Amino acid sequence: MSSRQSQKDAKRESFEKEALVHLDSLFRTALRMTKNEGDADDLVQETFLKAYRFWDKFEKGTNCRAWLFKIMTNIFINNYRAKAWTPQTIDLEDVDDDFLFGQLSALGPPEDPEKQFFNKVFDDDVKRAVEELPEDFRLVVVLSFLEGFSYQEIADIVDLNIGTVKSRLHRGRKLLQKSLWDYAVKNGFVKEAAK
Amino acid sequence: MTCEEALEKIYDVIDNEASEIDCQRVREHLDHCRDCTSRYEFEEKLRAFINRRSPDPERSDRLKKKILECIDCDDDSSLPRRRCSFRFCAVALSAAIALIICIISAFAVAKFYRHKVYIYPFERQHMQREANLLSGNPSFEEWISARDFLGNDLQLAVDVNTTGHELVRVGSDEILGGEFAHLRFIDNGVHISLFVGAAEGVKLPDFEPVVLSEMEYYKHVCGQCQMIYWISGNVITIAVTENKGFDLTTLFPVVRPI
């Protein structure tokens, strides 16, 4: 019994040291994906419990953080994703790659609109813009922007090929810029440039 | 490098995905092009801006504590002593549930309490043990290892290719006092759980028999939830979904004991 107990303790200790340290990071992403703290709590908790059950199977020394994110993404897709999910079609034809920058620099000096923009748009607005992204884009954008995963890591986590990851990231960026700009105009942080 | 070429690579550089040579070339271009530099700086700033963190140490401490507590009780449940008490709990639970069902039906009280009573053993204790099927759609090899994992005398052939149901999770549960294989499917967004186990001793009150030309099954509807079960040989299969409109009989060919 005591050897079993010490085995258990060792497992718990290594799990705490290697896996649980990523809790903040997982929670941040969970929050962006589920959009509410209660669900994010549950999602993270479920992820760690599942991870703990399979901790013996996890190859120590490989990328633990990516492994945890893969588990979480799977749970999210299977259990939390809006049930009546339908693919969304988005028309981005008229949005340039650097839409926001283009709009802001069109305003020009003297007040330095860029600086003004970053000073006036708050965390909440960014949070909203990210949360308003369609789910498929949001997941990829969050994994890249917030978590700093590489294209290849994201491809492994969400089971997509790297080309799809890049194109979703690209379109997610465009959507994000457009939504931040619309928000800034709506709230009078910047005045829309004359066309 | 022209401005056009540089801008094409700019996101790769910001995302740390560009090759060293590309990085070098973009940076050389940025060194003497003010226009591109300000674009680059803007994108970098935007990325950093979105990445602004607002840590809440109290919250994550609380969550961490909760997870560790769960882990400890999860651990305990794998000890034999606890497993016995788990089994006892399951039996006691089903007895209690049967009693509650009797009382409730006797008084003909609101339907959704019955709904809750039925859902409870299926949903609250689901997937006590789960096979390592982390990917959405398990391969044949993964399925085979899942079958080993189930570890009892029950061997199942699962035919997911012909029916359009996607198998998403595989595990086993103790319900109604017995060991059941638990298979979770998704069909067009509808979640379906199949519990497959030994028919002997399983009692499911309040099910209406339905006789089809090819087979007979039993059906029960409560609230938005519907359940059917059918018995072939000494194996009972219980199908549960929370979607009343879904035709559960399409699950007939999915699982058969071998």
Chain A residues with CB under 8 Å of B13 CB are none
The answer to whether position A141 is within a domain reads yes
Q: What is the pLDDT of residues B37-62, one digit of tens each?
A: 877 887 777 777 777 655 567 778 88
Handedness of CA A28, A34, A35, A39 (dihedral sign): negative
Q: Kindly state whether B109 is in contact with chain A, defined as any CB-CB distance less than 8 angstroms.
A: no
Domains contained in chain B, number: 2
Judge if B118 and B220 occupy the same domain. Answer: yes
The answer to whether position B217 is within a domain reads yes
Residue with tokens 């039993």: B218
What is the span of the domain harbouring residue B146? 79-257
The answer to whether position B64 is within a domain reads no
What is the spatial distance between Cα B106 and Cα B177, in angstroms, rounded to a whole number? 24
- Geometric angle at alpha carbon B246, from B240 and B248, rounded to 5°: 50
Q: What is the pLDDT of residue B150?
A: 41
Query: Looking at residue A28, which CATH number applies to its domain?
Result: 1.10.1740.10
Domains contained in chain A, number: 2
Structure tokens given for B124: 């609250």
Q: Kindly state whether A68 is in contact with chain B, defined as any CB-CB distance less than 8 angstroms.
A: no
Across the interface, whether the CB atoms of A126 and B7 are under 8 A apart is answered no
Backbone φ/ψ region at A139: left (φ over 0), alpha (ψ -120 to 50), beta: alpha
- Geometric angle at alpha carbon A18, from A15 and A23, rounded to 5°: 90
Q: What is the pLDDT of residues B188-227, one digit of tens each?
A: 778 888 888 777 777 776 778 888 777 788 888 766 678 8
> Which residues contact residue A66 at a Cβ distance below 8 angstroms, ignoring those fewer than 6 apart?
A149, A153, A156, A157
What is the span of the domain harbouring residue A130? 99-186
Q: Kindly state whether B73 is in contact with chain A, defined as any CB-CB distance less than 8 angstroms.
A: no
Judge if B146 and B19 occupy the same domain. Answer: no
Q: How confident is the model at residue B233 (pLDDT cuts 50, 70, 90)?
A: confident
Across the interface, whether the CB atoms of A98 and B47 are under 8 A apart is answered no
Q: What is the pLDDT of residue B134?
A: 40
Instruction: Report the DSSP beta bridge partners of residue B130.
Output: B171
Total beta-carbon pairs less than 8 A apart between chain A and chain B: 102
Work out the number of other CB atoms within 10 angstroms of the CB of residue B247. Answer: 12
The answer to whether position B57 is within a domain reads no
Q: Which of A77, A97, A121 sits opposite B136 (nearest CB)?
A: A77
Q: What is the pLDDT of residue A118?
A: 65
Q: What is the pLDDT of residue A26?
A: 92
Half-sphere exposure of A109 (CA within 13 A, CB side): 1
Q: What is the pLDDT of residues B118-172, one digit of tens each?
A: 232 333 334 544 544 444 455 555 544 444 444 344 445 555 554 567 777 767 6
Q: Kindly state whether A150 is in contact with chain B, defined as any CB-CB distance less than 8 angstroms.
A: yes
Q: What is the pLDDT of residue B115?
A: 29
Q: Kindly state whether B35 is in contact with chain A, defined as any CB-CB distance less than 8 angstroms.
A: no
Mean pLDDT of B77-96: 58
Where would I find the beta strands (DSSP E) of B199-254?
208-211, 216-222, 225-232, 235-241
The answer to whether position A191 is within a domain reads no
Residue B257: which H helix or E strand, with range?
Answer: strand B255-257
Residue B68 has pLDDT above 60, yes or no: yes
Across the interface, whether the CB atoms of A101 and B39 are under 8 A apart is answered yes
Judge if B97 and B149 occupy the same domain. Answer: yes
Q: Note whether B28 and B1 are within 8 A (CB).
A: yes
Q: Which of A48, A53, A114 sits opposite B130 (nearest CB)?
A: A53
Distance from CA of B170 to the nearest CA of A (A): 13
> Which residues contact residue A122 at a Cβ distance below 8 angstroms, ignoring those fewer than 6 apart?
none
Q: What is the pLDDT of residue B133?
A: 45
The answer to whether position B142 is within a domain reads yes
Judge if A21 and A73 occupy the same domain. Answer: yes
The answer to whether position B56 is within a domain reads no
The answer to whether position B46 is within a domain reads yes
Q: Note whether B187 and B166 are within 8 A (CB).
A: yes
Distance from CA of A67 to the nearest CA of B (A): 10
Residue B116 has pLDDT above 50, yes or no: no
Residue B2: which H helix or E strand, with range?
Answer: none
Distance from CA of A105 to the nearest CA of B (A): 9
Among A12, A13, A79, smallest CA distance to A46 is for: A79
Provide block-wise average pLDDT over 10 residues at a time, chain A (195 residues). Answer: 76 89 89 84 90 85 90 83 47 61 63 62 72 85 88 90 89 84 71 51
Distance from CA of A34 to the nearest CA of B (A): 16
Q: Note whether A177 and B49 are within 8 A (CB).
A: no
Q: Kindly state whether A83 is in contact with chain B, defined as any CB-CB distance less than 8 angstroms.
A: yes
Q: Kindly state whether B75 is in contact with chain A, defined as any CB-CB distance less than 8 angstroms.
A: yes
Q: What is the pLDDT of residue A120?
A: 61
The answer to whether position B33 is within a domain reads yes
Residue B150: which H helix or E strand, with range?
Answer: helix B140-150
Q: What is the pLDDT of residue A151?
A: 92
Residue B143: which H helix or E strand, with range?
Answer: helix B140-150
Which ipTM did the prediction report?
0.70
Structure tokens given for B91: 């039996």
Across the interface, whether the CB atoms of A49 and B70 are under 8 A apart is answered yes
Among A125, A126, A165, smallest CA distance to A144 is for: A165
Judge if A109 and A177 occupy the same domain. Answer: yes
